[in-house]
Amino acid sequence: MIAPSTDAMKSAGTGKQVGALGVVLLALIVLMAVNFALVARQNAFDKQYIEHAGEMRILSQEIAKNSTEAVTGKAEAFRFLQEARQAFERHLDLLRAGDGATGLPASPPEAAAALGRVRETWSGVSGAADVIIGRWDVITTLHEIAGRFSETIPRLQKVTDELVDAMAAADTSREQLILVSRQSLLLERIVRNVNLVLRGGLEAVTAADSFGRDTALFGRVLNGLLEGSPALGITAVAEPAQRARLEELQTLFAPVSESAGRILESSPELFQVRDAADRIFQNSGLLLDGATDLETVYENLGAQRVISAWTGFGILAVAILVLVLLAQRYVRDSRLRLQASTEQNQRNQEAILRLLDEMGDLADGDLTVQATVTEDFTGAIADSVNYAVEQLRSLVSAINSTAVQVASASQETRTTAANLAEASRHQAKEISAATATINDMAVSIEGVSENASESAQVSRRAVEIANKGHQTVQNTIHGMDNIREHIQETAKRIKRLGESSQEIGNIVSLINDIAEQTNILALNAAIQAATAGEAGRGFAVVADEVQRLAERSGNATKQIESLVKTIQTDTNEAVISMEQSTTEVVGGARLAEEAGVALEEIDAVSKHLAELIESISAAARQQSTSAGQASQTMKVIEEITAQTLTGANATAESIGKLAELAGDLRNSVADFRLPAEVGGEQEGETLAAQA
C-alpha cells in the first residue's frame, strides 16, 4: 500500500513540471506572435518612410530644373516649381512629425541625423525657391519687355541706317553723320546688354550699367539732333526728310526708353532670382544625396531594431527546446509508470494464483466453495467471487425455471428472425446503390485533385516569372539612374561650352568696337584728306583702304557673333533637352519603381494563390482517400449485411433448436451441486451407514 502512494506523489510532481513547461511554451508562442505582429507593423511604417524619401529625391531634381526654366521666363515653370516645393515640404513634414491620418509615427531617432541634414539643405533651397516664386510677375514682365526689344530694335537700326545713307548722300555735316552712325552702334550695344542682363552671371551688373548709360545717351543725342543741344555740341538737323526719320526714330524709341527704366529698376530683383536659381542648382545635388542617404537609413532600420524577425526566430527556437524538454519529461514519466505497473502486476499475479488454487473446486461445478477474503487486492475479488457464487446458485435455480420460458419464446423469436432476414435483403440493395454512388464521387474527386496539382504547378511558375520580372525592373531602374547621371554630366559640359562661347562673343564684341572706331577714324581721315585737296589725295586712298578693311573686319565680327549666338542657342537648347531627358529618365525610373511594386504585389498574390491551390489539392487528395475508404467501408457493410441476412436465416433455423437446447441446458445445470443438495446427500449417506 506504500508503493502506490509514493508513485502517486511522483506522478503529481511530474504533472506539475509538465504543466509549468506547458505554460512556458504557451507564453513563448504568444510572445513570438506579438513579436512578428510588431515587426510587420514596423515594416509597413518603413515602407511609407522609404516612399516619402524616394519622392523627395525626385522632387529635388524637379525643383532644380523648374527653377532654371523659371529664370528664362517660362510661366509654367513657376507653377511647377511652386507645386514641387509644396510637395517636398509636405513629405518632409510627414517624415518629421508623422501622419495622423494613416497612423504613421514621426521618424525614429536612427534617422534624425540624416533627416536633419536634409532639412538643413532644404532650408536654403526652400528660401531660394521662395525668392524665385515671389518674383514671378517681375521675371515674366522683363522677358516680355525683352521680347518687345527684339522686335523694336531691328526697326530702329533699319531707320538709323537709312538716315545715315540719306545724310551721307546729302553731304550733311561730318559731326552729325558721325553722331547718327554712333547711334546704330549704341542700338547694337543696347540689345547685347539687355540679353546679358536677362542671362545673368558675372557680367550682368556691368551690362545693366552700360545699358542704362547707352539708353540715356541715345535719347539725348536723338533729342539734340532734333532740337539742338549746346551742352553736347550738337546742331539740330534742318533737312525735312532727315528730321522726319529722326522723329520716326523718336517715336520708336519712346517705348524702349520707358521699358529701359523698368529693366533697370527690376535688375536687382533679376540678379536675386538668378542667384537663387544658381544656389538651388548647386544645392540640388546635396539635397539629392541627402534624400538618398535618408532613404538608405530607412531601408536599414529593420536590421537595427531589437525586435526583428530574427528575434521571433530565436523565440521559436526556445519554444522548440521547451517542447523537446516537455516530450522528454513525458517519456520519462511514462517509463516510471510502466515500471510501477509491472511490479504491481507481479504482486497481483501471485495473489491471483492463490485465489485460483482456492477456486479449483468451483471449476468442477461445486457451488459450495467459499473463497478466503484477504487484505490484497484479491480480497475484493474473493469477496466478489463469493458473491458471484451466491448469484450463480440463484442463477442455476433460475435457469431451471427459465428453460421452460425459453422454449415458449423460441417460437416468437423465429418469426422475428424471418422479418429481420427480409429487412436485411432490402438493406443490401440500398447499400449496393450507395456504394456505386460513392465510387463515382471518388473518381470525380480524383480528377479534381489532378487538376489542382496542375494548377499548383502553374502558380509556382507564375511566382518564378513574377520574381524574374521584379529583378528586371530593378536592373532597369539602375540603368536609368546611370543614364540620368551621364546626361547631367553632359549638360554640365555643354553649359561650360556655352560659357566659353560667351567669352568668344565678348572678344568678338571688342573686335567689333575696334573695327567701328577704325571705321570712324578712316571716315575722319577721308574728310581731312578731302579738305586738304590734291595734297591729301594719296592719304585719302589709304583712308579708303583702312575704311574697307574696317568694314570687312566689322562684317567678319558680325558673322562670328552670329555664329557664337547660334552656338549659344544650340547649347541652351541642348541643355534644355538634357534637362528634359533627365526629367523623362526620372519619370521612367518612377514608372519602373511602380512596376516593381506591382510585380511584388503580383508575386505575393501568386504565392498566396499557389498556397490556396496546394491546400485545395491536399483537400482533394484527402477527400479522394476518404471517398475510397468510404467505398471500402460500404463494401464491408454490404458484406456484413449479407452475413446478417445469412445469419438471420441461420437464426431462424437455430431458434427451432433453441427449445431443444433449453432442455439440454436444464440437464446441463443439473451437474451443479447446491448447498441443499449437499445436505440431502449427507443425510442419505448417514441413513445408509445406519442400515
Lowest mean pLDDT among 197-211, 524-538, 675-689: 675-689
Residues 214, 190: contact at Cβ < 8 Å?
A: yes
Range of the domain at 547: 387-669
Give the C-alpha separation, 319 to 584, whole Å: 53
Q: How far is CA 553 from CA 509, 516, 526, in A?
A: 11, 9, 18
Tell the burial category of 306 from Cβ atoms under 10 Å away from its Cβ (0-12, 13-18, 19+): exposed
Average pLDDT over residues 644-648: 74
In DSSP terms, 673 is beta-bridged to 366
For the chain, what's the residue count?
Answer: 691
Give the C-alpha separation, 208 to 218, whole Å: 15
Query: In sequence order, what DSSP letters do the residues of 321-337 get, joined into one string?
Result: HHHHHHHHHHHHHHHHH
Q: pLDDT-derived band of residue 683, with 50, 70 and 90 as boundaries?
A: very low
Among 178, 56, 182, smallest CA distance to 125 is for 56
**Which residues have a Cβ under 8 Å from the Cβ of 610 and sit 6 or more positions away?**
456, 459, 460, 462, 463
Q: Rounded to 5 degrees, what angle do the CA atoms 466, 470, 473 make?
A: 135
Q: Is the pLDDT of residue 247 over 80?
A: yes
Give the C-alpha separation, 67 to 70, whole Å: 5
Q: What is the pLDDT of residues 306-323, one digit of tens each?
A: 555 566 667 677 768 877
The pLDDT of residue 2 is 39
* Mean pLDDT, all residues of the chain: 73
> Beta-carbon neighbour count of residue 84 at 10 Å?
21
In DSSP terms, 99 is beta-bridged to 104
Structure-block grid coordinates of residue 79: 507653377
Q: Can you say whether the dihedral through the CA atoms of 293, 294, 298, 304 is positive or negative?
A: positive
The pLDDT of residue 141 is 67
The SS3 call for residue 102 is coil
The residue assigned the cell 510572445 is 31
Structure-block grid coordinates of residue 16: 506539475
Give the C-alpha separation, 559 to 503, whole Å: 16
Give the C-alpha separation, 630 to 442, whole Å: 9
Residue 526 has phi, psi (to 5 degrees) of -65, -40
Average pLDDT over residues 583-593: 75
Q: Most confidently modeled of 289-298, 372-381, 503-512, 577-586?
A: 289-298
Q: What is the pLDDT of residues 210-224, one digit of tens each?
A: 767 777 788 788 787
Q: Examine residue 567 and state whether it is found in any structural domain, yes or no.
A: yes
Q: Examine residue 321 and state whether it is found in any structural domain, yes or no.
A: no
Give the C-alpha separation, 249 to 597, whole Å: 66
**Which residues have a Cβ under 8 Å from the Cβ of 49 and sit 6 or more positions away?**
95, 104, 107, 111, 298, 301
In which element (H, E) is residue 357 found? Answer: helix 309-358
Tell me the chain's radius of gyration from C-alpha atoms.
Answer: 58
| CB burial readout 218-251, b (16+ within 10 A) else e | bbebbbbbbeeeeeeebeebeeeebeebbeebee
* DSSP3 helix / strand / coil % (the chain, rounded to 5): 90, 0, 10
Share of the chain above pLDDT 70, in %: 69
| CB burial readout 123-152, b (16+ within 10 A) else e | ebbbebbebbbebbebbebbbebbeebeeb
The pLDDT of residue 497 is 73
The pLDDT of residue 197 is 63
Residues 262, 148: contact at Cβ < 8 Å?
A: no
Q: How far is CA 454 from CA 96, 450, 626, in A?
A: 51, 6, 21
Our count of domains for the chain comes to 1
Q: Is the pLDDT of residue 305 over 60?
A: no
pTM: 0.36
Structure-block grid coordinates of residue 75: 510661366
Q: Examine residue 483 and state whether it is found in any structural domain, yes or no.
A: yes
The pLDDT of residue 539 is 63
Among 506, 518, 507, 508, smallest CA distance to 559 is for 508
Q: What is the pLDDT of residues 34-73, one digit of tens each?
A: 665 655 666 666 777 788 878 888 887 888 887 777 766 6
Q: Examine residue 405 and state whether it is found in any structural domain, yes or no.
A: yes
Amino acid making up residue 265: E
Give the C-alpha separation, 637 to 221, whole Å: 128
Q: Which residue would you say has higher pLDDT here, 357 or 1?
A: 357
Among 125, 122, 69, 66, smallest CA distance to 93 is for 122
Domain CATH code at residue 578: 1.10.287.950
Give the C-alpha separation, 639 to 642, whole Å: 5
Q: pLDDT-derived band of residue 504, with 50, 70 and 90 as boundaries?
A: confident
Average pLDDT over residues 250-266: 69
The pLDDT of residue 555 is 79
Q: pLDDT-derived band of residue 486, with 50, 70 and 90 as boundaries?
A: confident
In DSSP terms, 234 is beta-bridged to 229
Average pLDDT over residues 509-523: 75
Q: What is the pLDDT of residues 137-174, one digit of tens each?
A: 666 666 666 666 667 778 877 888 887 888 888 777 78
Give the C-alpha separation, 324 to 554, whole Å: 100
Q: 178's torsion region: left (phi>0), alpha (psi -120 to 50) or beta?
A: alpha
Q: Examine residue 445 and state whether it is found in any structural domain, yes or no.
A: yes
Q: What is the pLDDT of residues 368-378, one digit of tens each?
A: 767 677 766 66
Residues 615, 452: contact at Cβ < 8 Å?
A: no
Average pLDDT over residues 340-344: 76
Residues 379, 373: contact at Cβ < 8 Å?
A: yes
Q: Examine residue 324 and state whether it is found in any structural domain, yes or no.
A: no
Structure-block grid coordinates of residue 49: 518612410
Residue 233 has phi, psi (to 5 degrees) of 70, 35
Q: Examine residue 294 and state whether it is found in any structural domain, yes or no.
A: no
Tell the burial category of 170 from Cβ atoms under 10 Å away from its Cβ (0-12, 13-18, 19+): exposed
Amino acid making up residue 236: A
Give the C-alpha separation, 215 to 197, whole Å: 14
The pLDDT of residue 679 is 44
Amino acid making up residue 627: A
Q: Examine residue 86 and state whether it is found in any structural domain, yes or no.
A: no
Q: Which residue would you say has higher pLDDT here, 166 or 669?
A: 166
Q: Which residue would you say has higher pLDDT here, 651 or 12?
A: 651
DSSP code for 233 = T
Q: Which residue would you say has higher pLDDT here, 34 or 351?
A: 351
Give the C-alpha separation, 528 to 540, whole Å: 8
Beta-carbon-side half-sphere exposure of residue 513 (alpha carbons within 13 Å): 10
Lowest mean pLDDT among 71-85, 358-372, 593-607: 358-372
Share of the chain above pLDDT 90, in %: 0
Q: Is the pLDDT of residue 674 over 80?
A: no
The pLDDT of residue 51 is 80
Residue 234 has phi, psi (to 5 degrees) of -110, 130
Q: Is the pLDDT of residue 511 over 80?
A: no
The residue assigned the cell 505582429 is 37
DSSP alpha helix (H) spans, 72-111: 75-97
Q: Is the pLDDT of residue 9 over 60?
A: no
